[in-house]
A = this chain, B = another copy of it.
Amino acid sequence: MKKILLQLDSDGQPSVFDAVAALDGGAEVLLRHGGVTVEAVSGLVHGVIFTRGPEDLHGSAIFIGGSDVARGEALLEATRKAFFGPLQVSVLFDANGCNTTAAAAVAKMAASLGGLEGKRVTVLGGTGPVGLRGAALLALDGAQVRLTSRRADRATEAVARLKARFGVDVEAAVVSDDDERDRALGGTQAVLAAGAAGVTLLRQSLWQSLPELRVLADVNAVPPLGIEGVKSHWDGRDVEGKILFGALAIGGLKMKIHKAAVARLFESNDAVLDAEELFALAKERLGL
């Protein structure tokens, strides 16, 4: 009875990254599907839940990915609807790596800050996949989260989505120039830079001048990085009293979480591993 993972991906070519991580996480056979639409989900999922007896269903599982998080969320919803009572399998949701990356970054920040309860944290570029999930995880653990965006409509939508999906209240700040962004950082104790690859969101002169800022994390690995002056491989480097995490260091923990999550899929047939569950895994890894 091999461990079979059904990979549902909304992109035309299913992710190779997710496939390798799945194999290294313990999946023995991958059934990979690209270009998956919501309409196709039930047939594919039924193929998994109707082929093995209930006592063997923990040997089958589903991974949902793809670069488009909203489409991935729709596939996840369709997957859950396709289950028949006890005839279900465990599911890991990590479209665009949003969950594992956010979980890794926020767990490292939490460890450095000595917990998130009551901390003031700013998420720069907070309306993208990792920014949204990062803001949610920070808020779920009690931080006061402010997210920034250049566009008011996207900021408003982000706040609404976070409320609807995670039940958290997050503040949005529209920042159309450097001065506004500087002001948005006033009083912040930690920064998560989650913007587009190759865009600098925070100048070194600024972060060095913020007296209360203690922890900075950047998930962008493509130069120029999101936080000026950080190095990708820095894994908690102390620079004049501030702790910095680069994208490669966060990525290392992300891979461990990803593989551990795949392994966990095959321990039962009813786990749904989404942002919260992956964050718990990340904290476990760091002894939090």
Proximity string of chain A (8-43) to chain B, C-beta cutoff 8 Å, 1 when within and 0 when not: 000011011111110110000111110110001001
Contacts of A29 in B (CB 8 A): 23, 30
A205 within 8 A of B: no
Contact A19 B1 (CB under 8 A): no
A52 within 8 A of B: yes
A280 within 8 A of B: no
Contact of A24 among B35, B43, B44, B51 (CB under 8 A): B51
Interchain CA distance A45-B33 in the complex, whole Å: 18
Interface size of A in residues (CB-CB distance below 8 Å): 35
Contact A47 B23 (CB under 8 A): no
Proximity string of chain A (214-229) to chain B, C-beta cutoff 8 Å, 1 when within and 0 when not: 0000000000000000
Interchain CA distance A33-B30 in the complex, whole Å: 14
| A170 nearest CB across to chain B (Å) | 30
Contact A40 B13 (CB under 8 A): yes
The complex is assembled from copies of this chain, and their number is 3
Known: A13-B36, A13-B40, A36-B13. A47 touches B20 (CB 8 A): yes
Contacts of A50 in B (CB 8 A): 17, 251
Contact A16 B48 (CB under 8 A): yes
| A249 nearest CB across to chain B (Å) | 13
Known: A1-B24, A29-B23. A51 touches B6 (CB 8 A): no
Interchain CA distance A35-B14 in the complex, whole Å: 12
A46 within 8 A of B: yes
A60 within 8 A of B: yes
Contact B13 A33 (CB under 8 A): yes
Interchain CA distance A48-B50 in the complex, whole Å: 29
Contact A51 B255 (CB under 8 A): yes
A4 within 8 A of B: yes
Contacts of A19 in B (CB 8 A): 31, 47
Contacts of A183 in B (CB 8 A): none
The residue of chain B having its C-beta at the shortest distance from the C-beta of A19 within the complex is B31
Interchain CA distance A235-B146 in the complex, whole Å: 61
A165 within 8 A of B: no
Known: A23-B4, A24-B52, A51-B24. A16 touches B30 (CB 8 A): no
Q: Which 6 A-B pairs have the closest CB atoms?
A: A16-B47, A17-B47, A20-B51, A16-B44, A19-B31, A13-B40
